[in-house]
Amino acid sequence: MFKELALMVWMMWPIVTITLILLPLLPNLWRKIGILTYLVLFTFWLPVAYLILLSQDLLLQITVDFHIIIVFLGFILIIIGLIIHTWTAKLLGTKALVGYNVVRPDNEKGSLITSSLFSIVRHPTYLAHTSLWLGFFFLTGFLSLMILTLLDFLITYLMIIPLEEKELVQRFGQEYIDYKKRVPKFFPRLFRS
């Protein structure tokens, strides 16, 4: 069961990452082709998923035998990740989570959400992803999921967040710049000064 779960995580990760990188990189292209954007992204994902499927024996070869407390922590991290992701979807709307505002912008700036989860961390969705991936590593023990977690974190922190924040500064200007000064990017502050 854990092997299938780990394989599912590996196969789902590229579609999320491909979407989060390509949407902000080429917004004019996506606006031109509209809803077909998702077919193009799926087309990018399909061969990657197939390669992962072919490589599953290699990817899921090395396991770490965690103590039951770490396995339980993995389960808790998955639950936390799902809660944060669901909460963020409720705050932003599902369309925003799948990048529909890039594909079909309504020419309205919208409003910057700075309350609730967004008062604690600027990018709760990405925090949720990291919590999920790390949780799946602790739960299943497949070392490749730890590598995936680190890779996802680096890509998110060094590529995806800067791309997104550039667009948010363009859209919201000084309001977003002030928000950036007040609220941490990824890691919530446990104690406020």
pLDDT at 109 (0 to 100)? 64
Q: What is the pLDDT of residue 139?
A: 97
Sorted by where each begins, the domain ranges of the chain are 2-182
Classify residue 40 by burial, with Cβ atoms within 10 Å: 0-12, 13-18, 19+: middle
Class of domain 2-182: mainly alpha
> Which residue's structure tokens are 């639950």?
79
Phi (first) and psi of residue 11, to 5 degrees: -75, -30
- Residue 12: the pLDDT is 92
Q: Which residues of the chain fall short of a pLDDT of 50?
A: none
Amino acid at 26: L
In 3D space, the residue among 45, 42, 56, 49 whose CA is nearest the CA of residue 4 turns out to be 56
Beta bridge partners of 142: 63
Q: Could you tell me how far CA 21 lies from the centroid of its own chain?
A: 10
Give this prediction's pTM: 0.88
Considering the chain, what is the average pLDDT of its residues? 91
For 22-31, the pLDDT digits (tens) are 888 888 888 8
Torsion of CA 99, 163, 147, 120, to 10 degrees: -80
User: What CA–CA distances, in Å, run from 10 to 4, 13, 115?
Assistant: 10, 5, 33
Rounded to whole angstroms, the Cα distance separating 170 from 184 reads 19
